[in-house]
Amino acid sequence: MGFIEYVKEEIRVIKERDPAIKSTMEVFLYPTFKVMLSYRRAHKLYQKGKFFRARLISQRAARRTGIEIHPGAQIGKGFFIDHGSGVIIGETAIIGDNVTLYQGVTLGGTGKETGKRHPTLGNNVMVSAGAKIIGSFTVGDNSKIGAGAVVIKEVPPNCTVVGVPGRIVKRDNEKIDEHPQDSLDQVGLPDPVMEDITTLQHENAALTNRLLDLEQTVKILVKEIEKSE
């Protein structure tokens, strides 16, 4: 893809994904647009072994946009970062097509691995605000990571993950929309902790009722015994 075609593609993706963009000119002010142009340049230099120049470009872009993408990361087409401040993408991260990240997302490593040490995101993955995906594993196609989740192990395709540490709360084989942010209610995500608490409350209420029934039965038996005596 040539430079002009790439710019047109970035403009299309940003206008399509962010309803706040009202005109093409606004796209040129968008942090994602700026950082991705810098990333593509830096990535080409990185592939040629010009590591210092690549890092220089990426660090300048990070200072301007608040988005830090290591030039060694591999990013597919249709990539979009909404707002973007605080996003960090590590050197060995691999990102598929049509992936969406929100502000504060980290695709990082644990600091203990060598070689491939950052996550791989499949196609059509969406990672909500503040989520952290840490380690060398794969988040499967069409999966969604809830806001603030900390994901430290493999996520199969077509899953929704929430919580700290991240837990799979939904998994099915239904077709997911091309742009996953369209089908994820980021406010109404399942809350596994509250679900567990609610279950415990119901079980506690059931046990309490059984105990009251037993106490009533014992009282009746005691009265009958006293009458018989």
Q: Could you report the per-residue pLDDT of 84-111, keeping only the tens digit for each?
A: 789 999 999 999 999 999 999 999 988 7
Confidence band of 219 (pLDDT split at 50, 70, 90): confident
Highest mean pLDDT: which of 15-24, 66-75, 184-193? 66-75
Structure tokens at 105: 């997302």
DSSP for 93-142 reads -EE-TT-EEETT-EEE--SS--SS-S-EE-TT-EE-TT-EEESS-EE-TT
Dump the DSSP string for 149-216.
-EE-S-B-TTEEEETTTTEEEEE--PPPPSSGGGT--SSS---HHHHHHHHHHHHHHHHHHHHHHHHH
Average pLDDT of the chain, as a whole number: 84
As a whole number of angstroms, the distance between CA 191 and CA 71 comes to 36
Q: Determine which of 33-42, 174-183, 218-227 has the lowest per-residue pLDDT on average.
A: 174-183
CA distances from 49 to 34, 42, 71 (A): 23, 11, 11
Where do we find the tokens 């695709």? 107
Q: What is the pLDDT of residues 4-13, one digit of tens each?
A: 777 888 888 8
Per CATH, the number for 3-185 is: 2.160.10.10
Q: Structural domain boundaries of the chain? A: 3-185, 191-229
| CA–CA distances in Å: residue 60 to residues 13, 54, 101, 129, 186 | 24, 10, 21, 24, 32
31 Cα distance to chain centroid: 19
Distance CA 7, CA 28 (A): 10
